[in-house]
């Protein structure tokens, strides 16, 4: 559908901003005093700059405007504005908790007792079953310093191969496709500020109007500059409302859709032959795949009318430059890597890569989704985005760590495989988990919760008693954003600095301190700094020469330059805002076409489960909701789960708006109120995934894995939907 593009009026802009839950003016009208601290939001990958002052009557710090930070220019969404609420003592953990017997209650304990219990349990499991029976599960919200030392702790102290993190569930398919095509993966290979200057932007399966509202400014400016915005999403989201053209495929249709667009670009003579010849390899294979995806066939697969396909191909193929951005919609599938590969092929065929204002990028999700996967908490990687199987990489990192390269374990299990094996004879039996809540956020979460319960020892480091922490044998309360220094890397590859603005409550410690204490108890007294800048300086050395080279980035430079883009191999290097302008990072310098074909999802609807379920986020909650569900303002705006369904489907099933409906898949069941909207396809229902309990969307989702990225198929499974009362009476 086409949308009115007249949004130049400042009043209309402010209305739009209010609609999107963001602010374009000072978040809190408190003057910045001498103690004001420049830092960043604790939540999503935009990593909005904010200034902290205060205290206020309600919170120990106030969020102030920081208009000079270029990414968000002072704008924050409601999550960022309300983040100080998480610092209050009554919503968080303020001392360690221990469970003395399985099924018994958690009780308060001191740090020495808690750390002794953890160290003894890890050592006992390792001695009895070997090092790979001990596992580590990290998170994409951890700072670079924490992620780096968590990886070092797993490999050097525990000697286990089994470390992975929840970022595997986030953008691993995009990372795998990016690397396959370009030889290097960075979420965006260009700054966000490039978006308004492209001719045509296709946004596939992303909803920044709800997930990162300040980024909507870039889409608005694109259209004000005369560019075209195409949004691909099975739902008419708030972002799709802003688009010139909204393509609404059925879930799982994105791969065929991309191939259909490539088919039309080729058929219409819109291939950039010169670029293809000079800077790519493998076009013949991609052309052969695309030619098998003619418009009528793609319409049958995706449900997108052929005339809309033709219009999208024309808009993208004739634009002066084009950008494709993907988010979780096309990525969280058992064919996610190939799907992203198909969209990259469309970019390559049209000459939209390695040139200003063009290319492919991924909107990463978590606050440090980018940096968290670069420095060693992923099962197959060492710091600097190095392969753990590369002898030269192992030797370099071993030298920084002061260990024999042969002692560094090989690749371990991916996130879901690690969780699925918990408590099994050949799996992990003692798990240290930090910054993640898989009891809510993992696919087939009911099964994962059972596996967590089967562990001999579960240790959770978190700031709140999340659903996963509530299952633990030991809970360690740790510091959060405003209470610690540390770096994160935003979706642009910009390394930024969070600054400590206040002391944590007594009884709360940083993860760096926890790792140092545990390492010492396990016989490694050195090599685990507790000062973040010291850890970062070691990370710089470990990353030097790697793909994600941070060697030239220092805390002082980050503060002075509003962040530094990696790779930055030397202190006199300016950082790399745009990748691939001269050559791609492949051995021959050419980008590689993926040449993929459409295939169905691991589970398609059938007679027993006739509908698609897709899941996603809402404006006022974040990820598993462990933090945002504890913020009254956010909870009031988004108090619980719901099931979105089309009026025709609701009528056919006899479901009224607001009525409790039961959604059942082959793995589980969830109940939540119906929300009837014509913004969704009649063959699809949608649930947000931020809640535990009866409305837990991930009770339903399918853990079928992508063969390359090991990404589970979060975004599509087959379900049955019925009124909850009807299901109960059967
Ligand atoms: Fe925080 Fe993301 Fe909101 Fe910015 S958009 S304030 S980083 S949650």
Q: List Cβ neighbours of 526 (8 Å cut-off, separation of 6 or more).
A: none
> What residues pair up with 300 in beta bridges, in sequence order?
none
Q: Read off the tokens for 274.
A: 């010169």
Q: Distance between CA 146 and CA 532 in Å, rounded? A: 8
Of all protein residues, the one whose alpha carbon is nearest to atom 5 of ligand 1 is 212
Q: Is the CB of 76 under 6 A from ligand 1?
A: yes
> What are the residues whose beta carbons fall under 8 Å from the beta carbon of 651, sequence distance 6 or more?
none
Domains detected in the chain: 10-91 (no CATH), 97-169+383-528 (3.40.50.740), 176-362 (3.40.228.10), 611-728 (2.40.40.20)
Sheet with 564-565: strands ordered across: 486-489, 494-498, 564-565
Q: Give the pLDDT score at 31.
A: 40
Q: Which residues contact 479 (CB under 8 A, 6 or more apart)?
A: 463, 504, 508, 509, 510, 511
**Residues 428 and 58 sit within 8 Å (Cβ to Cβ):** no
Q: Is the dihedral of CA 143, 144, 145, 149 positive or negative?
A: positive
346 three-class SS: helix
Tokens at residue 153, please?
A: 């702790």
Q: Which protein residue has the closest C-alpha to ligand 1 atom 2?
A: 44
Centre of ligand 1 to C-alpha 80, Å, is: 5
Q: With H, G, I as helix, E, B as strand and everything else as coil, classify residue 716.
A: coil
The Å distance, Cα 81 to ligand 1 centre, comes to 8
Q: Measured in angstroms, how far is the CA atom of residue 176 from the centroid of ligand 1?
A: 26
Residue range 274-284, pLDDT digits in tens: 999 999 999 99
- Ligand 1 centroid–CA 71 distance in Å is 11
What are 391-415's pLDDT values in tens digits? Answer: 999 999 999 999 999 999 999 999 9
Residue 722 belongs to what H/E stretch?
Answer: strand 717-723
Ligand 1 atom closest to Cα of 46? 7
pLDDT for position 533: 98
pLDDT given for residue 65 in this prediction: 84
**CA 128–ligand 1 middle distance (angstroms):** 45
Check if 212 has its Cβ closer than 6 Å to any atom of ligand 1: yes
pLDDT (0 to 100) of residue 399: 98
Regarding the beta carbon of 623 and ligand 1, being less than 6 Å apart is answered no
Distance CA 308, CA 310 (A): 5
Backbone angles phi, psi at 81, to 5 degrees: -60, -35
Closest alpha carbon to 146 in 512, 483, 558, 462? 512
Mapped onto helix, strand or coil, the DSSP state of residue 476 is: strand
User: Given a cut of 60, is residue 512 above it in pLDDT?
Assistant: yes
- pLDDT, residue 2, reads 28
- The alpha carbon of 379 and the centre of ligand 1 are apart by a number of angstroms equal to 28
CA-to-CA dists, residue 554 to 66, 143, 469, angstroms: 22, 15, 34
Pocket test of ligand 1: the residue of 212, 363, 488 to mutate, having most ligand atoms within 8 Å of its CB, is: 212
Burial 178-203 (b: 16+ CB within 10 A, else e): bbbbbbbbbbbbbbbebbbbbbbbbb
Unique residue bearing structure tokens 């509202």: 213
Q: Is 48 in the pocket of ligand 1 (CB under 6 A)?
A: yes
Give the pLDDT mean for 192-209. 97
For residue 211 the two structure tokens come to 């997930």
Q: How confident is the model at residue 111 (pLDDT cuts 50, 70, 90)?
A: very high
Least confident range of 365-379, 380-394, 548-562, 584-598:
365-379
Minimum mean pLDDT range among 31-35, 563-567, 613-617, 695-699: 31-35
User: What's residue 26's pLDDT?
Assistant: 36
Neighbours of 556 (CB within 10 A): 11
**Ligand 1 contact, 491 CB (< 6 A):** no
212: CA distance to ligand 1 center in Å? 6
| pTM, 2 dp | 0.93
Structure confidence at residue 431 as a pLDDT band (50, 70, 90): very high
> pLDDT over 70 for what percent of the chain?
95
How many angstroms separate the CA atoms of 553 and 573, rounded? 9
Q: How far is CA 447 from the centre of its chain?
A: 22
Please list, in sequence order, all residues whose beta carbon lies within 8 angstroms of the beta carbon of residue 515, skipping any fewer than 6 positions away: 149, 150, 153, 528
Atom 6 (ligand 1) nearest CA: 80
Task: Decide if 495 contacts 371 (C-beta within 8 A).
Answer: yes
Query: Cα-flanking dihedrals φ and ψ of residue 371, to 5°?
Result: -65, -30
Quick check: CB of 80 below 6 Å from ligand 1? yes
The reply to whether ligand 1 has any atom less than 6 angstroms from the CB of 40 is no
- Kindly state the tokens that stand for 108: 């308060």
Contacts of 682 (CB under 8 A, 6+ apart): 646, 648, 649
Measured over the CA atoms of residue 101, residue 102, residue 103 and residue 109, the dihedral's sign is positive
Q: What pLDDT sits at residue 272?
A: 98
Tell me the per-residue pLDDT of 645-675, one tens digit each, with 9 for 90 and over: 999 999 999 999 999 999 999 999 999 999 9
**Confidence bin at 267 (pLDDT 50/70/90):** very high
As a whole number of angstroms, the distance between CA 517 and CA 147 comes to 17
- Binding site membership of 41 for ligand 1 (Cβ less than 6 Å): yes
Q: How far is CA 388 from CA 191, 398, 405, 499, in A?
A: 29, 11, 10, 32
Task: For residue 692, count CB atoms less than 10 angstroms from its CB and return exposed for 0-12, middle for 13-18, buried for 19 or more.
Answer: buried
Contacts of 204 (CB under 8 A, 6+ apart): 232, 233, 254, 258, 324, 325, 326, 327, 329, 330, 343
Q: Which of 627, 691, 489, 638 is nearest to 84 (CA)?
A: 627
Q: How far is Cα 100 from Cα 724, in angstroms, rounded to an integer?
A: 39
Tens digit of each residue's pLDDT (9 = 90 or more) over 139-193: 999 999 999 999 999 999 999 999 999 989 988 999 999 999 999 999 999 999 9
DSSP 641-688: --EEE-HHHHHHHT--TT-EEEEE-SS-EEEEEEEE-TTB-TTEEEEE
Task: Verify whether ligand 1 is closer than 6 Å to residue 214 (CB atom).
Answer: yes
Please choose from 20, 26, 27, 44 the residue to mutate so as to test ligand 1's pocket, defined by most ligand atoms within 8 A of CB: 44
Cβ–ligand 1 contact at 43 (below 6 Å): yes
| Residue 32 pLDDT exceeds 70 | no
Q: Given this model, what pLDDT does residue 729 score? A: 63
- pLDDT, the chain, mean: 93
From the CA of 481, how far away is ligand 1's center (Å)?
13
Confidence of residue 205 (pLDDT cuts 50, 70, 90): very high
Q: What is the pLDDT of residue 34?
A: 45
CB 260 within 8 A of CB 296: no
For residue 556, CA distances in Å to 502, 533, 549 come to 20, 10, 17
Sign of torsion over alpha carbons 612, 327, 713, 367: negative
- Is the Cβ atom of 47 under 6 angstroms away from ligand 1? yes
Going by their DSSP bridges, the two strands 22-23 and 76-77 should be labelled as antiparallel
């Amino acid at each position: 559908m086409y949308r009115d593009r007249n949004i130049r009026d400042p009043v209309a802009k402010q209305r739009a901003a209010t609609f999107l839950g963001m602010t374009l003016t000072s978040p809190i009208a408190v003057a910045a005093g001498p103690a004001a601290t420049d830092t960043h939001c604790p939540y999503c990958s935009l990593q909005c700059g904010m200034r902290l002052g205060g205290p206020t009557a309600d919170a120990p710090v106030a969020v102030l405007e920081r208009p000079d930070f270029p990414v968000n220019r002072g704008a924050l969404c409601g999550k960022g504005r309300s983040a100080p609420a998480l610092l209050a003592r009554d919503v968080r953990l303020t001392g360690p908790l221990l469970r003395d017997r399985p099924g018994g209650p958690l009780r308060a304990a001191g740090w020495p007792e808690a750390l002794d219990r953890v160290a003894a349990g890890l050592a006992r499991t390792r001695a009895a079953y070997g090092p790979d029976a001990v596992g580590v599960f990290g998170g994409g919200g951890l700072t670079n310093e924490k992620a780096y030392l968590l990886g070092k702790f797993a490999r050097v102290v525990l000697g286990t191969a089994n470390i992975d993190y929840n970022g595997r569930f986030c953008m691993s398919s995009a990372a795998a496709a990016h690397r396959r095509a370009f030889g290097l993966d960075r979420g965006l290979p260009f700054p966000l500020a490039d978006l308004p200057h492209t001719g045509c932007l296709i946004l596939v399966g992303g909803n920044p109007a709800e997930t990162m509202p300040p980024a909507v400014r870039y889409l608005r400016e694109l259209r004000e500059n005369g560019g075209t915005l195409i949004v691909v999403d099975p739902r008419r989201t708030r972002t799709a409302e802003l688009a010139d053209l909204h393509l609404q495929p059925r879930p799982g249709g994105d791969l065929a859709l991309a191939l259909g667009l490539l088919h039309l670009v080729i058929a219409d003579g819109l291939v950039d032959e010169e670029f293809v010849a000079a800077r790519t390899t493998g076009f013949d294979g991609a052309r052969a795949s695309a030619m098998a995806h003619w418009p009528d066939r793609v319409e049958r697969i995706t449900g997108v009318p052929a005339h809309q396909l033709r219009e999208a191909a024309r808009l993208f193929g004739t634009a002066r430059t084009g950008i494709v951005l993907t988010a979780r919609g096309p990525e969280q599938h058992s064919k996610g890597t190939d799907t992203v590969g198909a969209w990259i092929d469309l970019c390559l065929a049209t000459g939209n890569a390695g040139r200003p204002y063009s290319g492919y990028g991924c909107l990463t999700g978590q606050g440090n989704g980018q940096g968290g996967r670069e420095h060693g908490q992923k099962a197959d990687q060492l710091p600097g985005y190095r392969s753990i199987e590369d002898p030269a990489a192992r030797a370099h990192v071993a030298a920084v760590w002061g260990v024999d390269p042969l002692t560094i374990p090989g690749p371990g299990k991916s996130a879901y495989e690690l969780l699925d094996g918990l408590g099994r004879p050949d799996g992990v039996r003692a798990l240290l988990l930090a910054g993640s809540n898989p009891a809510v956020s993992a696919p087939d979460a009911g099964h994962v919760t059972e596996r967590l319960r089967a562990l001999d020892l579960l240790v959770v480091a978190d700031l709140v008693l999340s659903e996963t922490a509530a299952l633990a044998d030991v809970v360690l309360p740790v510091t959060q954003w405003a209470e610690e220094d540390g770096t994160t890397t935003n979706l642009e590859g910009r390394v930024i600095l969070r600054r400590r603005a206040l002391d944590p409550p007594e009884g709360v410690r940083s993860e760096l301190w926890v790792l140092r204490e545990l390492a010492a108890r396990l016989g490694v007294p050195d090599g685990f700094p507790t000062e973040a800048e010291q850890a970062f300086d070691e990370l710089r050395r470990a990353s030097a020469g790697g793909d994600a080279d941070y060697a030239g980035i220092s805390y002082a430079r980050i503060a002075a330059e509003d962040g530094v883009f990696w790779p930055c191999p030397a202190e006199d290097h300016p950082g790399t805002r745009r990748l691939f302008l001269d050559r791609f990072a492949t051995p021959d310098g050419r980008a590689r076409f993926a040449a993929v074909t459409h295939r169905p999802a691991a589970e398609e609807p059938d007679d027993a489960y006739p509908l698609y379920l897709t899941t996603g986020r809402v404006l006022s909650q974040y990820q598993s909701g462990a933090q945002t569900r504890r913020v009254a303002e956010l909870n009031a705006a988004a108090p619980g789960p719901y099931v979105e369904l089309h009026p025709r489907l609701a009528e056919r099933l006899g479901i009224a708006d607001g009525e409790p409906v039961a959604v059942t898949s082959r793995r589980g069941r969830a109940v939540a109120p119906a929300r009837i909207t014509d913004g969704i396809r009649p063959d699809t229902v949608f649930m947000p995934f931020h809640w535990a309990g009866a409305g837990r969307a991930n009770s339903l989702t399918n853990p079928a894995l992508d063969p390359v990225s090991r990404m589970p198929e979060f975004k599509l499974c087959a379900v049955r939907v019925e009124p909850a009362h009807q299901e109960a009476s059967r």
